[in-house]
Amino acid sequence: MKKVIILGSTNVDTILNVQRFPQPGETMAMNSMAVAGGGKGANQAIAAVRSGAETTFISKVGHEGAANFMLDTFKEDGMNIDHVTTSETAGTGQAYIMVDENGQNSILIYGGANQDITNEDIQAAKGSIKAADRIVAQFEVPIPSVIEAFKIARENDVQTILNPAPAIKNIPDDLLSVTDMIVPNETESEIITGIKVTDEASMEASAKEFFKMGVKAVIITVGDRGSFYATSEQSGFVNAFKVKAADTTAAGDTFIGALSSKLELDYSNLEEAMTYANKASSLAVQIKGAQNSIPYAKDILAD
């Protein structure tokens, strides 16, 4: 069983189901609305724990009822939430997600308490980070806190995986220097490297740019096509499972959380772990919503 730390955001998602996305200035009716748990960090932590990883979550929430709703969800899945703390100044993060009839989404984020995570919070979790196999983080929390956590990890031979989302063009060198693996989607990869991802050759070129930045391994996810991988020793492509998507929300987070639960630290089972993660994502996109759609290991391993 892998010991996984997830450092990241906790959001409450308001999901707006629409026939199509509105044009600028247009007013239109929704098909339906729902409220559910979300946030890239929380999604990835739930995906990891549901795939059998011993998962500790580092996050921050507000004082309101939304926070209790999220904490109850984490407890139900058996996640360690000793380092999910409460902000004294901000509410729990919020996300507003529009999903069209083809399952594509557009998302607006209010950071809230997620932006209150500090280096002091990371230091409080130092013992847990030191005891882990790997730590995963994204950019929905302050980058200085991610750097602090990854430095602790690197000093203690704990593998670091960065999901650079939402993407920023210039990732600080201090962070890249302590990142073992980076996992962007094709859009995020293009923003960071400047190389448009269109085929396997452009993915290879993108990976070389990431290697120049100092990371040791790269996975680029490309939606319903699958995912590309590259290390100093190997590269290749793992095809996605073909399904009809109802909602792509949390597909990438499901992939990363599931991957973190199965990947060996020496990448010896990289293709196998990616196939498992691709299947997890294929199950998630067939159900509307974020955390409620994230599958359990028994479902992913079923024929």
Q: Confirm or deny that 41 is annotated as ligand binding.
A: yes
The residue among 51, 33, 15 whose CA lies nearest residue 253 is 51
3-state secondary structure of 83: strand
Q: Confirm or deny that 39 is annotated as ligand binding.
A: yes
Distance of CA 116 to the CA centre of its chain: 19
Q: Confirm or deny that 25 is annotated as ligand binding.
A: no
The residue among 44, 56, 41 whose CA lies nearest residue 2 is 56
Q: Confirm or deny that 257 is annotated as ligand binding.
A: no
Q: Confirm or deny that 252 is annotated as ligand binding.
A: yes
Q: How many Å apart are CA 222 and CA 229, to the nearest integer?
A: 11
Kindly state the tokens that stand for 31: 């098909």
Q: Confirm or deny that 55 is annotated as ligand binding.
A: no
Q: Confirm or deny that 5 is annotated as ligand binding.
A: no
β-bridge mates for residue 291, sequence order: none
Is 253 catalytic? The answer is: yes
66 close to 12: Cβ distance less than 8 angstroms: yes
Q: Confirm or deny that 289 is annotated as ligand binding.
A: yes
The residue among 117, 70, 50 whose CA lies nearest residue 90 is 117
Q: Confirm or deny that 31 is annotated as ligand binding.
A: no
Catalytic annotation, pick one of 253, 266, 299, 303: 253
Would you list which residues are annotated within the binding site for substrate? Answer: 11-13, 39-43, 140, 253
Would you list which residues are annotated within the binding site for ATP? Answer: 185, 221-226, 252-253, 278
Would you list which residues are annotated within the binding site? Answer: 11-13, 39-43, 140, 185, 221-226, 247, 249, 252-253, 278, 284, 287, 289, 293
Would you list which residues are annotated within the binding site for K(+)? Answer: 247, 249, 284, 287, 289, 293
As annotated, the active-site residues are 253
